[in-house]
Structures are given as structure tokens and as C-alpha cells.
Structure 1
Amino acid sequence: MTGDWLARDRAELAAERILDAVRELFIDKGVAGVGMAEVADAAGCSRATLYRYFENRQALYVAFAGREARQLAQRVWRDRPFPVHAPPAEWLLDMLTELLAEVRKTPYLAVWFEPSNAGIVAQLADSPGVVDALAANFVVGFRPGLPAPAARRVGQWVVRAMVSLLTLPGAGEDEERAMLRNFVLPFLLDGRTVID
């Protein structure tokens, strides 16, 4: 089976195959319990091949989290275009709330926010690969005039707020919506918010 991997000339396809294989491992063993040897076995490749695509577990985690975040956003927002002529606050609040719910009901995502994985999630929340993608594809949609460094900082804040709610859930959806409304939406929507 290793020869099949070596014959492939499309790195993206191979990386996607590895990321697909790791989903079940995260469900079965938890994120912290998955080693690179197990990932290689699950993907049907050698460890040398695995390391060709992902230099270490952190790189694998960043790639997985980035891909899953993009796919999650596409699933949630696919049928709900941004309201061009209406205030976006309630729409955005609904979308952020739905993102939280979707993560919690998706087993290979929910496992990331169990207490045993808190350190891994904290590192990923501050990872440039995840935050930059969020800033580029999400924040600038709400604050188009925001310079790239400021959009990155807003993206970091949104990621940290969402990770906090997933790791330490509130008393319920109403409390979470209130926290999002009071502490996240102003940074996304209010042009008067100063970001140095």
C-alpha cells in the first residue's frame, strides 16, 4: 500500500486522505491519545510518508483544525447568505450560535473540547494557520476596511471566545448568545472599535 502513496503526484489528495483517516482516531482515542504511528496505520501509509506531509503532530492538528473549521463554516452558512440590506447582528449571532451547536454534535469535533485536550486546543487557538484563515475569510467580510494586522487580532479574539465557550460552556444557549452579543459582535461589527 505504501507504493500507492509514493506513486501519487498530488500532495493535496494525500494530505486529505491522512486528515480523513485521523477523524476516527480522534473519536476512539481522544486527540491527545493519537500518535503519528497510529495515524500512519489508519491512513494506510508509512510514517515516513506521513512526515512528508505533516512534519509533526502540531502541524497535523493545525491542518485538521483549519480544514474542519472551513468545512464547518461552509455547512452552517451554505444556505444562509449574508444579509446585504439588513443589519447583520442577529444573523451573525445566529450563525455563531449554530457553529457552537454544530461542533458539539459532531463527534470528531466535540472530542477536541474535552478537558483532556485543553492544552492542545489552547495552542491551536493561537496558531497562525487557523487564525489567519479566519481573519482572511470571515472577519474582513464584516469589517472590509480593517487592515490585515487588525483583522488578524479580531480573528484571534473570535477564535478564543468560541474556544472558551466550547471548552467551558455556559448555563445554556441564552447565556452563550448574550456573551457573544456583548463581547464578540462589537469587535466584528462596530467600526468604532479601536484595534491597534
Structure 2
Amino acid sequence: MSGDWLAGGRLELASERILDAVRMLFIDKGVSGIGMAEVADAAGCSRATLYRYFENRQTLYAAFASREARRVVERVWRDRTISTSAEPAERLLDLLTALLAEVRKTPYLAVWFEPSNAGIVAQLSNSPGVVDALAANFVAGFRPTLPLPHAQRVGRWMVRAMVSLLTLPGAGEDDERAMLRNFVLPFLLDDRTAID
């Protein structure tokens, strides 16, 4: 290992470098078959350095999931042209469908939703804080008057619904759009979902 791994002002980039390395491991080896020693080797750091940033595999996976969820939403917002003349519900439906497609076409994300990784994904999607801020911000984009605790709860449910569709896909895009339209949109847009 290089003794100057964090030299030259790279302290702020260390966790990003580790997460970039683990992304390639996911493509090559899947999610469940990766150990912390392999991550350290791929990142070019010692295991001690790795554990300074991520105390265990669960925290590493949570950090990766948070970062990549944020990135995929940003990519979809940036790259997807959603008609401004469409009804708000249709725009949201288009966005959710685009998010599913983006995850599926991105190899280091798609591998997470293979059957062998279902337990890891279920555990992460149920972990508080993994994507809470992102989900709450996403919900606030279409329900700006919703108080933060309610936006977080709606966001957590939305994450579970999306993970479910990624893990157990529908019978094609039309089927998934129908499921989103009939079951997810009413929940996301109904004021009753904010009631304690």
C-alpha cells in the first residue's frame, strides 16, 4: 500500500475513491461476495484506512447506496425531458418510470437487484438514513407543503415501492406504469398519507 494514499490534499476525496473502487467490484463480483479486504485492495489503501471511513460493510454499502441514489435521480432530472404541459401525476409517473429504467441500465446498480442480493437490498432500504434525505427532497419536489417528517415517511414508502419493482419487475414497462399509476401515485399524491 502507498504510504501517501491521503497525501496532497486528498482527504476530502478518500471516501469517494473507496466508493468508486467498490462500484467496479460490484460489477465484477456482485454485491454479496465482496469483503472489506478486497475493497481496500481495489481502492489502493490499507484496511485500517478503509475502516477509518467505513466501520463495516453495512456502512460502506449504505454510503454507496446513498451516493448512487442521489446520482441516479440527478441524472434522470438532467437527462430526461418531461413535458411541462402534462398533468403533474403524469410527470411524476414519467419520472418514476425513468428512474426504474436508469437503475436497470446501469450495471453497478442493476446487480443490486439480482435475486442473490435481495436480502442486502431489503436491509438497506429499511435502514434509517440511507436515502431519507434524498427521498424527502424528492417528495418535497411534488408536495412542497408537506412537513418534513411526513415527507420522510412518504419518501421511505416510495423507496420501498421502487425497490420492490426493481427486485420483482412487472411484466414489462406498461405493466409497471399501470402499477405505479394505480398503487404508488395515489399514495404519493393523497393528502391522507400525511396523517399520523
> Considering the TM-score relative to the shorter chain, is it more than 0.5?
yes
Q: How far apart are residue 173 of structure 1 and its match?
A: 0.7
User: In 2, distance between residues paired with 1:126 and 1:18?
Assistant: 24
Q: Which moved more, 1:143-152 or 1:128-137?
A: 128-137
Which residue of structure 1 lines up, in the alignment, with residue 175 of structure 2? 175
Return the letter of the residue paired with 1:56: N
User: In 1, distance between residues paired with 2:84 and 2:91?
Assistant: 11
Return the letter of the residue paired with 1:62: A
Question: 8 Å contact 2:115–2:167 — kept in the other structure?
Answer: yes
Return the letter of the residue paired with 2:172: G
**Cα displacement string for residues 120-166 of structure 1 (whole angstroms, at most 9, x for unaligned residues):** 00011112222312333201111122122211110111000000000
User: In 2, distance between residues paired with 1:8 and 1:34?
Assistant: 29
Which residue of structure 2 lines up, in the alignment, with residue 55 of structure 1? 55
Alignment CA distance shift 1:8-1:149 (3 Å) = farther
Which residue of structure 1 lines up, in the alignment, with residue 116 of structure 2? 116
Q: Percent identity?
A: 82
User: In 2, distance between residues paired with 1:30 and 1:79?
Assistant: 27
Aligned-pair RMSD on alpha carbons?
A: 1.9
Equivalent position SS for 2:171: coil
What TM-score comes out, normalization by structure 2 length? Answer: 0.92
Q: How far apart are residue 92 of structure 1 and its match?
A: 1.1
Return the letter of the residue paired with 1:14: A
Q: Which moved more, 1:28-37 or 1:77-86?
A: 77-86
Q: Which moved more, 1:47-56 or 1:83-92?
A: 83-92
User: In 2, distance between residues paired with 1:116 and 1:79?
Assistant: 31
Return the letter of the residue paired with 2:30: G
**Which ranges of structure 1 fall in alignment gaps of 5 or more residues?**
none
Question: 8 Å contact 2:150–2:194 — kept in the other structure?
Answer: no
Question: 8 Å contact 1:97–1:177 — kept in the other structure?
Answer: yes
Matched, 1:126 2:126: yes
Q: Where do 1:49-128 residues align within 5 Å?
A: 49-80=49-80, 87-128=87-128
User: In 2, distance between residues paired with 1:44 and 1:86?
Assistant: 49
Equivalent position SS for 1:128: coil
**Which ranges of structure 2 fall in alignment gaps of 5 or more residues?**
none
Return the letter of the residue paired with 2:94: D
Question: 8 Å contact 1:32–1:117 — kept in the other structure?
Answer: yes
Question: 8 Å contact 1:103–1:110 — kept in the other structure?
Answer: yes
User: In 2, distance between residues paired with 1:144 and 1:117?
Assistant: 34
Q: How far apart are residue 187 of structure 1 and its match?
A: 2.5
Which residue of structure 2 lines up, in the alignment, with residue 46 of structure 1? 46
What TM-score comes out, normalization by structure 1 length? Answer: 0.92
